[in-house]
Amino acid sequence: MPRAEVRPDVALVPLEIAHAERTHRWICDPAVRDNLGVRAEPSLERTRRWIGDAGAGDLTRAFAVMLGGAHVGNAVLDQIDRHLEKGRLSVYIGEPGARGNGVGRSACYRLLEEAFGPAGLRKVWLTVHVRNHAALLTYVRLGFRIEGVLREEFLLAGERIDALLMGILRREFPAPERPR
């Protein structure tokens, strides 16, 4: 099973209203918005409301991704189903300078630790469009498996493309390779 190197300078902290302005700025960036499939026009007020709602219940766990203490992205477990012990993972790195060097992979790993530890989940699933190669590589390295193809499920720049349904079970979750 593949192992993922986890960066020690990447941490997750609860997402708070103080993170709203950065989150809104990132969601307005087409590079982030388009890969997430955001449909509604982003607004700071809507972002604040979402963060407040996410922290209010137990079916969503939202975190700020911190790199050396700086907020660089967000990581969310949502659609948590307590009966089936499963939830959906989504992670994005909003700061362009923090992409492409293992920050996203480390954030995903930390979120899986949360899911299979404190959240008590048995399975984590996600969807990703087939052109998001960096995300696909990250998920495979972490042990996710393709469970299905959702044909023409995603709209990217006006074009319908396939998305993949991927999942990982608690027993498949790899131990990290620690940096030497």
Mean pLDDT of 24-47: 87
pLDDT at 41: 84
Instruction: Summarize pLDDT for 116-132 with one digit per residue, the tens.
Output: 999 999 999 999 999 99
Task: Evaluate whether the domain defined by 10-172 bears CATH number 2.30.30.90.
Answer: no
| Distance separating alpha carbons of residues 84 and 125, to the nearest angstrom | 12
Mean pLDDT of 130-139: 95
pLDDT at 174: 73
Q: What percent of the chain has pLDDT over 70?
A: 94
Instruction: State yes or no: pLDDT of 1 exceeds 60.
Output: no
Sign of the Cα torsion 161, 127, 164, 71 reads positive
How far apart, in Å, are the Cα atoms of 138 and each of 19, 46, 74, 82, 166? 25, 29, 16, 26, 12
Return left, alpha or beta for 52; rule: phi > 0 is left, psi -120 to 50 is alpha, else beta.
Answer: alpha
User: How confident is the prediction for the chain on average, in pLDDT?
Assistant: 91
pLDDT at 150: 97
- At 179, the pLDDT band (50, 70, 90 cuts) reads very low
Mean pLDDT of 75-104: 96
Please tell me which residue, 35 or 62, carries the higher pLDDT value.
Answer: 62
| Distance separating alpha carbons of residues 104 and 121, to the nearest angstrom | 21
Mean pLDDT of 28-37: 84
Mean pLDDT of 167-179: 77
Instruction: Summarize pLDDT for 36-85 with one digit per residue, the tens.
Output: 888 888 899 999 999 999 888 889 999 999 999 999 999 999 999 999 99
| Distance separating alpha carbons of residues 60 and 76, to the nearest angstrom | 7
